[in-house]
């Protein structure tokens, strides 16, 4: 059976792995998932990621990050735009997430980036997810 929202599946796997205290997780890879993982790494929410080939399919391994005494770095990760209801925002409509403590990840004409980067480039796009 085909998956209707692969990005939501990735976010759910990250959320579940963080709750369970896992150090890493593996998801099927795609360019959009790699873009989201890159933004999460640049913003310090994950320790890193790598793409490898297993049985002819690309896999994305994500290394999760925890703070002192095992504190969770990712306390919330959720999908905003979904296949049934796409959420596009103009640059003027992009609000700060959690008063600047969180980020929104957008896909734009210039690639996957944070809401702050999109505001600095003066472009809008589809809001994929929010993380804090």
Q: Which domain holds residue 76?
A: 6-131
Rg of the chain, C-alpha, whole Å:
15
Q: What is the reported pLDDT for 1? A: 52
Residue at 117 is within a domain: yes
Q: What is the reported pLDDT for 77? A: 98
**CATH at 18:** 3.30.1490.10
113 contact partners, CB below 8 Å, separation of at least 6: 39, 105, 106, 121
Beta strands in 14-124 (DSSP E): 24-28, 46-54, 57-64, 77-79, 88-89, 103-108, 111-114
Chunked mean pLDDT (size 10), the chain, 132 residues: 87 98 97 98 98 97 95 97 96 95 97 98 98 98
Q: What is the reported pLDDT for 2? A: 66
- Nearest Cα to Cα of residue 45 among 68, 81, 77, 22: 77
Residue at 1 is within a domain: no
How many domains would you assign to the chain? Answer: 1
Q: What is the reported pLDDT for 32? A: 96
């Amino acid at each position: 059976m085909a998956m209707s929202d692969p990005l939501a599946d990735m976010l759910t796997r990250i959320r579940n792995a963080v709750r369970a205290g896992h150090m890493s997780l593996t998801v099927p890879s795609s360019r959009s998932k790699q873009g989201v993982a890159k933004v999460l790494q640049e913003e310090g929410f994950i320790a890193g990621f790598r793409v490898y080939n297993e049985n002819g399919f690309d896999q994305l391994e994500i290394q999760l990050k925890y703070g002192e005494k095992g504190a969770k770095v990712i306390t919330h990760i959720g999908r905003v735009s979904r296949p049934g209801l796409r959420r596009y925002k103009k640059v003027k409509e992009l609000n700060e997430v959690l008063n600047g403590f969180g980020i929104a990840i957008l896909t734009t004409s210039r690639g996957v980036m944070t809401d702050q980067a999109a505001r600095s480039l003066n472009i809008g796009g589809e809001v994929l997810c929010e993380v804090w």
